Amino acid sequence: MLTVPVRQLGESERRAVERLLDLDPFAGAQVAERITARGLAWWRAEGRVLGYGSRRNLESICWLGGNLTPVLATEPAVAAYADLLAGEERLCSSIVGRADAVLGLWDRLSAVWGPARDVRPNQPLLATESLPALRADPQVRLVRAGEIDRLFPAAVAMYTEEVGVSPLADDGGRGYRRRVTDLVRTGRAYARFVDGQVVFKAELAVVTRRTAQVQGVWVAPEWRGRGIASAAMAAVVRDALLRVAPTVSLYVNDFNLPARRVYERCGFRPVGTLATVLF
C-alpha cells in the first residue's frame, strides 16, 4: 500500500519544486522552463505539476500537460503516479524523461493508455559546457523574421521525419507555425541557407538558467553525407554558450549513429538516458 499520496502542487511550493529541478537540470529542463515562465498555477501553466513526498520533504515531481514528464521519480514515486494516472483519460501526446521512470510508468499504464505509436527506450542525454574545439561554420546564423516562410518547410520535414507524423495534421500547421515563429522571434532558431533554401537547421527549444536544450537538428536530404553537420552544430553550440546559457544539452535516439558522432565531435558528453513513449 502506498503510504505517501500524490498531490497537485501549487504556487506555495514553488521553491521546493525549483530545488528539485536544480538537481536534474538536463532531464528536467522542459519542466523548469515552463515553471519559470508560468509558475505552478494550472490555469496559467497549461498543465499540472504533481508531487510525491511530504510538504517538508518533496521527493519527486511529475509534469502533466501536452507531455507527461517525471522528474527524480524513484520506483515508489513511479508507482504512485501511475496509480493516480490510471484513473484518468490520457490527454498527453507523449511520456518523456529519465528512462527508468518513463519505462516504469509505461509498464503500469500501457494496459489503460495503450497502445503507443512508438516507444524509444534508449535516448542518450548529452551535455557540454565547453566551446567546441572544431571550427564553427560561419554560414550558420540566427534566422531572421523575414525568413520564416523559408524555414517552415524544413521544420515540417524535420518534425515529420523525427516524430513520424506531420505537424500539419491537426490544425493545418497553425499551432506549429506559431511555435516556429516564436523560436525565431526569441533568437532561438538557427539555419544555414544556400540559394535561399535551408540546408541545416536547429533550435534552442528549451532555455533555462542552467541549460539551453537543442532540438530540431536537421540536414536537407540532398546535403547529407557532405560533412556539414559537425561545423554547423559547432556554430550553434558556440553561440548558445556565449549568448544564452552556461551549458548546452540535447538527447538523441541511440540508433542515430551519424548524429551521435556529430555531437561527440562538438564536445558533448553523456549525462544520462531518456526514453520517450509517443501516442
Query: Domain 140-269, what fold?
Result: Aminopeptidase (3.40.630)
Q: Please say whether the beta carbons of 191 and 148 come within 8 A.
A: no
**Residue-wise burial string across 112-124, b where 16 or more C-beta atoms lie within 10 A, e elsewhere:** ebeebeebbeebb
Mean pLDDT of the chain: 95
137-169: per-residue pLDDT in tens? 999 999 999 999 999 999 999 999 998 899 998
For residues 91-113, average pLDDT = 97
pTM: predicted TM-score of the whole model, two decimal places: 0.93
**pLDDT of 114 higher than 90:** no
The answer, yes or no, to whether residue 244 has pLDDT greater than 70, is yes
Mean pLDDT of 194-200: 96
Q: Is residue 1 pLDDT above 50, yes or no?
A: no
Domain ranges of the chain: 6-114, 140-269
14 pLDDT band (50/70/90 cuts)?
very high
For the stretch 219-235, pLDDT in tens is: 999 999 999 999 999 99
Q: At CA 32, angle to CA 271 and CA 192, rounded to 5? A: 70
CA-CA-CA-CA dihedral for 189, 194, 200, 201, to nearest 10: 10
Predicted local distance difference test score (pLDDT) of residue 46 = 79
Query: Residue 126: CA atoms inside 13 Å, Cβ hemisphere, count?
Result: 23
What is the structure's pLDDT at 56? 85
Helix (H), strand (E) at residue 219: strand 212-219
The number of angstroms, rounded, from the C-alpha of 152 to the middle of its chain's C-alpha atoms is: 19
State the pLDDT confidence band at 45, using cuts at 50, 70 and 90.
Answer: low
- CATH tag, 6-114: 3.40.630
* Mean local confidence (pLDDT), 162-187: 93
Confidence of residue 67 (pLDDT cuts 50, 70, 90): very high
Q: How far apart, in whole angstroms, are the C-alpha atoms of residue 20 and residue 37?
A: 17
* Domains 6-114 and 140-269 alike in fold: yes
Amino acid at 231: A
